[in-house]
Structure 1
């Protein structure tokens, strides 16, 4: 597809990189020449220096032939205007990044009036992910599938775990078939395990299971489940605001440390029940005075990646809190995975996941492929694998055939099937049926529809 991206900051660059890798024809627009040049030099994209909300610039960039325009500048109004112009000038699909909480309250109206295909709020999506991590504190990462009835969670197998040196198939025999190990990470190695794969202490494994089975699974792996009641947040930006809103509804005690006095006053007015501290979160004395040692979770959400990393390292030293650290810089990603800063969140990747999910579904509709629909796309195992949820719209080549008889591609696993209100962890005898929701994990593949799991060379 022909896709125009207005705005080539962190999110825009990430989108351009991932969408061009998937074979789309990408054009980026940004008023900063250095951003455009960096994208053109490193990626297979076309670049234009200018404003995405200019009709003349959009026309020059080819909006009349484009299938999709994605507006992800740092200004909501510019993004909305860019989408409105693209809709009128090229009649293409449009996606806008909308970050202002006031706009989010009216987003349904804005989408309808401007004809937006999708509105994305990275901060809201990030807050939702952090909330999940706090709800499931023993997990490193958590994603939801099957309308919230199934969770995929990532954990580290602890020393002394009964799973140490056990084969995957032996684990299933001993502990039941109500869960599935989808991904195993050992050092830099990421594999989709077979029944003969041996699990070792220190491995990071991603498992999918019905919601009600999660706590029992942590116990049998050897991880003690705990409840989070007290959370400290460093930085009082938009993510912190959304997160605090969500956690306060769950009766969690919130302390936010923010170094801007005016912002502290705003948060105090909007977040009834939260403790707002005016001060520098990098002041170790202040953190201890405000009870860091007794916190159940510590979330680093300042605007500086370096500060977030150092704060989480300090919190790791001084407390037993679950750590959640915001990191956006691409250059840091390989380094931070090896240091004890807990779960790492990245708003730009969350935004890219949502948009890629939409793009794959749009591609299906353009090619008139209606057998299945992409509901969810999650990048897992440090972006080395994907978990996708498909809605099976109608009968196709993958339905009503025992899974053991399907000619599946390698490095791919069918993880769960939602049928009605029940989640199945499938065996080889199970069949996919029209109306199901199916979760697939794959390593290094871009699946647009469920039928892409088939290896036609095996037929």
Structure 2
């Protein structure tokens, strides 16, 4: 696949690196030659210095043979114009990052369909949604929904004295007769394990499971999670993400406090929020936060535009007794550092954007994707093809790729957590966890033949 990426910021670089690593022909257009030098260090990526909204640069990048065009500069108008020019060259799939146009309800004139752009993405919308899920699901490291919300993919840490520590998956499976779920992966220190029946769960593991939504409360009870609801929430940062979160939590009846150092931002929050307490202070001002009830807070979410400040604010909250802290962090190195230091979960705008784009790159009938950064893995919802080697076979009969596991099978009106005797039927959907090394094999397995 020939892919052109306009913009070499964090999102552009991350997307280019992923696609290049997977063997795609990637060209990055960027006006800043210093950024291009960094892009070239990421892999076999062609770079062009220039404007992605200029036809000469696009032609030099091979726009006439382009399969996927991605515009992710920091300027919405440049991204949209670049995609419109790509449309005139006949590029079949165009994706534009737009931060302002999608923050409010789109007007018809600005919809992707009207513009002829296949996808308009605002990473902050996705970030707010994922943060909301993490707050609602106490202790969760990851939360993703599949099959129209009927299947949850969740990750949890196994802390000291967790009741399942020391149990094998076979022993855990006996309990699963009452509490049905599938353990798809375990992260143990730096390793990702695709577990077997004799795999024993240990303190410090981070486990990733698939479960039907209606069975999730039973799963949380079994694993000793979510003994208390998050009713007091502190949001640090009053930008678009902070405002969306505060509005959501107000509707859910939580007691919300939101802090931001910018007076204009705080006035906007005060005018548009109903019950939230708005504080015009720095988000690391621990003294004021303590006087406003920090120690009694159930969860802190740091969502400012500065990832270092977000990490510091979350760590200060943890040090002062807040049981759960979640942070917006972009850099992969910071994501790993934050969790090592004790921050409970991190959300990456960069990763949110890349995940949305990958759906257009993956082969086969990919319906949705979730990316799990800490173990370099993906969860795919895939349409099962009408192929002789797949359709009509049981999981036990097929040679399913190593490094991947089927966590759920979705039929028209039912969801099955599979066993070896589960039959793969054409038209059903499989929800699959796969490590990066097995991804190509999983795509090939589900390709129509």
> Please, what TM-score do these two structures have when normalized by structure 2?
0.94
Aligned 1:379-394 pairs, distance under 5 A: 379-380=371-372, 382-392=374-384, 394=386
- The aligned residue for residue 312 of structure 2 is 310
Match for residue 220 of structure 2 among 218, 221, 228: 218
Q: Deviations over 1:375-416 (max 9, x none)?
A: 122222604222111123645531211110111121221110
| Distance verdict in 2 for CA 1:376–1:417, change over 3 Å | same
The separation in 1 between residues aligned to 2:164 and 2:95, in whole angstroms, is 45
**Other-structure match for 2:421:** 429
TM-score by length of 1: 0.92
Structure 2 vs 1, CA of residues 324 and 451 (structure 1 numbering), >3 Å: closer, same or farther?
Answer: closer
Separation (CA, whole Å) in 2 of partners of 1:8 and 1:446: 28
Select which of 178, 181, 196 maps to 2:183: 181
Q: How does 1:51-450 map to 2 (within 5 A)?
A: 51-100=51-100, 104-106=104-106, 109=109, 110-176=111-177, 178-360=180-362, 364=363, 373-380=365-372, 382-392=374-384, 394=386, 397-445=389-437, 447=439
Question: How far apart in 1 are the matches of 2:250 and 2:366?
Answer: 33
Deviation at 1:224, TM superposition (A): 4.3
Q: Measured at CA, do residues 414 and 114 of structure 1 come closer, stay the same or move farther in structure 2, by a change above 3 Å?
A: same
* SS at 1:208 equivalent: strand
2:437 match: secondary structure:
coil
Alpha-carbon distance between aligned partners in 2 of 1:433 and 1:91, rounded to the nearest angstrom:
34
Q: Distance in 2 between matches of 1:409 and 1:388?
A: 14
Q: 1:411 to 1:331 in 2, by over 3 A?
A: closer
Q: Which runs of 5+ in 1 are unaligned?
A: 365-371
| C-alpha RMSD of the superposition | 2.0
Residue 243 of structure 1: CA displacement?
A: 2.0
Deviates more, 1:94-103 or 1:279-288: 94-103
Aligned to 1:368: none
Q: SS of the residue aligned with 1:227?
A: coil
| Mapped partners of 1:330, 1:102: distance in 2 | 26
Q: State whether residues 182 and 417 of structure 2, in contact with CA within 8 Å, keep that contact through their aligned partners in structure 1.
A: yes
The alignment status of 1:8 with 2:27, answered yes or no, reads: no
- Cα distance 1:47–1:35, how it changes in 2: closer, same or farther (>3 A)? same
CA offset at residue 298 of structure 1? 0.4
- Cα deviation code 1:350-394 (max 9, x no counterpart): 11011011221xxx4xxxxxxx51112222260422211112364
Distance 1:113 1:191 in 2: 45
Q: How many residues align?
A: 445
Structure 1 residues 389 and 107: alpha-carbon distance in aligned structure 2, compared to 1, 3 A threshold: farther
Q: C-alpha distance in 2, partners of 1:107/1:225?
A: 43
1:61-91 deviation per Cα after TM superposition (whole angstroms, max 9, x unaligned): 2211111110111111111111111111343
Q: CA deviation at 1:2?
A: 0.6
Distance 2:102 2:211 in 1: 36
- Displacement of 1:276 in angstroms is 2.0
Q: Distance in 1 between matches of 2:243 and 2:79?
A: 22
Range moving further from structure 2, 61-70 or 1-10:
61-70
